[in-house]
Structure 1
Amino acid sequence: MRVLIVDDEMGIREGLHSFFPWTTYGITEVWMAEDGDTALALALEHKPELIITDMKMKRMSGLQLLDALLKEADFSWKAVVVSGYDDFEIVRQAMKLGAFDYLLKPINTSELGQVIERAISQLERERIDRHNQILLNSHVENALHKMSEELLKEIVEQEYDVYRESRIIHRLQTLHLEWIARDRITVMIIEVDDLKALDNKKGYRNEKELILFGIGNVVKQTVDEEYSQAFVSYEDVKHRWVVLLQCQDVSQWEKGKSLAMICMERIETYVKVKVSIGLCPTLVSLKQLHAGYVETGEILEQKALYGGNRLWTSHEWEEKMEPSDPSIRTSDEVMDLVRYGSDMDIVMAMDRFADLFNPSSSSHIKDVQQNIFEWLLSIFKKAVSLGWSDRSWERNPIAIWDQLEQYDTLDSLRVQVQAFLLAIADDFRKQTSSPSRLIQEAEKYIQASYGDGLTLQSVAAAIYVTPVWLSKLFKKEKQMTFLEYVTDVRMERAKKLLGDVQYKIYQIATIVGYKDPVHFAKLFKREIGLTPKEYRRLQGIDDE
């Protein structure tokens, strides 16, 4: 415990400091000040539990000190004021300002000891009361959190029951969540990519719980900082974080998209895991909340095909993923452009040349020319590794630089780079596989591996093409998306297996590549027009 002695008479200060048995009362630090200004600074720095102060002092008086402490101190303290016989009005004012007791001059050490004992006893009681209040608040907060979580699971994960509506609305009001019943909502689901693999790592006890706890904290803090409307979050039965956002219009839904991207970035930064996030494409009411949750979960399932660490907002993600024009941002994309794209694809891709080599980031045209030169050399090296026959640039790279140096505008430089890419493309067309051959390889791989966890990325890697171009070529050659083709293959295989009595429907779902039998049944119904059970009955099988 700490004490601060405040008196403008050195004899009184030093006497109390040196001759009073402070340690007997458990006081280990004794500070001194000669006026209120110095005392206030010391008090705010060292936070003494007990302050013994004279009332009449030069500069800041004892009363002014107490008033300042009431306004500025962020710690618990008790003050004992020291006064003469004719200062009772000042003492009365001090008591109004929270002084614990007062002593008359000259100070009697026995009386001082008794006052200190009472002050310490009072401080201890107040400390216990604060501790008990914190515990009580914690218990109440935990109880409210649990009640909130149970209610959210009921209204989100279960179908809406009109007979429970009044009871649900009353509970929402009790938990200050009445906006869920009143306003439009969008549903966000945050799922850890490869959570089971993380949980099974040796040496990481309770890793899953720690990861989910960390994600919950990051999400709550991020939404609280970045989103101006009401929200609530909880962990669902599938160990995903579900966030309900008060969302009245499209502009707020767009803000929800930005919010999801921020959450994804911060989770990777602070929790060190990658997540996928699904955002319901429609705004829903309380009655539609379960349907919105289910739809968002189904949208999120697309990561099984296309890979995780993305934001999903619709079932047509593949089409949105495919750029309206080919890209030249990476050497792999450029190689796919020149090997599988048309001359028109290359010309259209060069429309974004200025974005890739923005002169505003360089102080001189020479810097732009240098960047383009280095980029071209990296493209040439990549092309050679893939079978490009022209090696003249390798023997004389200075000739490339001399050619670029003749042009001092970005548009003229673009024309030169475009000519290089068209020449490479023409050479590749004479010697490499056609896009049709590439799609045939993809089909062969899918036919052999449809039961595995196929993704656009895994198939693209198997046939040595970028995912963007595999998607583009599928639409061009097959007139369908990658997902549509994989689904067709799986459904055809499922139809054959449904005619074999030895397989249960849930087993067939797994065989053809779907972990969730319910999701499989929904897809089968959508594609075939019948549920798996109905289709099986048409085959004369009724064993389930």
Structure 2
Amino acid sequence: MYLHRAILIDDESFTRKGLMKLIDWEACGFRIVGEADNGEDALELIKRVQPDLVITDIRMPVIDGLELIRCVTSENIAKPYFIIISGYNDFNYAQQAMRYGVHDFVVKPIDEIEFSHTLNKLNDKLRLEQEEQARNERLMGGEMIKSLILGEASEASIAEWEKRLNLRKADRLYYLFAELNDNHSWQSPEDHISDARFKELVQQELIRITAAEQPICLHEHRNRIGILLPSFLLAPFNGELERFLIKLRAALDVHLGKGVFLYAGTPVSCLSDIRESYKSAKEAILYKYINEDDRIVISEQIQSEKLNYIGLDSAELNQFIVQMEELQLEAVKATVDKWFHDFREKRYAPEAVKMNIQQCLMAILKTIRSMEGDEQSLLSFQQMLGWQDINLSLGELKKLFTAFIVESQQSIAELRKEQQKGGIQKIKSYIEINFSQNISLKSIAALFYVNPVYLGQLFKKTYGVYFNEFLLQLRVNEAKKLLRQSCSMRIYEIAEKVGFSNSDYFVTQFEKIEHMTPTEYRNKLM
């Protein structure tokens, strides 16, 4: 817990010691960092320590309490809050003290509860002020970085910022990117990490691991956090940038549970040149997939390495689509594994990976559309459309792409079933219309360009009966209808009417299904 710095000033030693023992300073948010028994020593102490709170007596030798306050405030030596303690219940002292902006006026003997309450209120006020100051510093830091990157910063503003950042001539500056990956918009709300939370954690861990005494300048880019890092903050790491990056990555991983990638630009010697470090840090991002294990890319370590911008081989892509359409699950998986292995081992740039994934995506969608399917029905389709706008590790991209492939294959299988179902329905309708003609499984298969064996199997699978059984039932049903409606038609005429060329065969088949002859069926009705 951060404790505000306080100093005690009183010419009586037992008063100071008694006050230190009387109050639980840490519980109130303060720690005593110095003491003085006269105003002159107190003035030097304030200059050196720059405390947040000064608790002082009124009457002291050399310089009294009110004069001390006047000097500190008028000469802008420091900006502490003052609490006056006095044994003199004098309204004039209080009036003068308040003119100098004194926080409170306490009369001896001190009431422990009342004084602790005063300190607690002041602690809350100081904490809010510091948070507000830190927010303003961060905003100003972000604006400063933006103006430097755009080349719009004036020499005067650069000089002011160098002073504010405590930069020395020997210091170097790095521009870094911190990138949170696999933070999908389609995740559950409790798993998703906001940009503001990520930025807050980056700032928090930077301060913790470098022991920085003030917020480090950050700038929000579109989907990354930019960091302005002076080399003196690398002191806890013996000045080694890579050790620092490893520590920062590990610290962020603990909080986030997701992969954070860090990219470091080349060092520059002055703030006005930070744009060059920024540009090299952006180039380092292109080596992201190659360095997926470490999740750290340092510009100086990759300058001699080349990236590839290779498109998928058209023959290989066509073969993949054939595998998709034939539902060769293992072959498809092997092809995807090979592609993603090549993306990494052959040093593909992120743009090349995006281009190849997009090319494959469009080929799959073409197949689905050609089968009269709708890609919007695929749950992973919108994710595949939007993945380029978020930061994904190569491993997570492979998961997303594989999920899309699997769902697309399922869709193709369903579409094929629908097509088969639609085709067999057309054949069934044709049979129902033309059953009285001289038709057979072979003639229908030829008419619809289907293998007769396959057609027979598909008909049985779809309707639960064989083709010949279905055709016979249609003919017998029509024959029964004619027998019911016409007493003048002869049996052989009915047989011919419903598609039988031989009346004896008709009678045999009718009896087989109805367990009576056509004549018996007619007589039964009469």
| TM-score for the superposition, normalised by structure 1 | 0.37
| TM-score for the superposition, normalised by structure 2 | 0.38
* Structure with max Cα Rg: 2
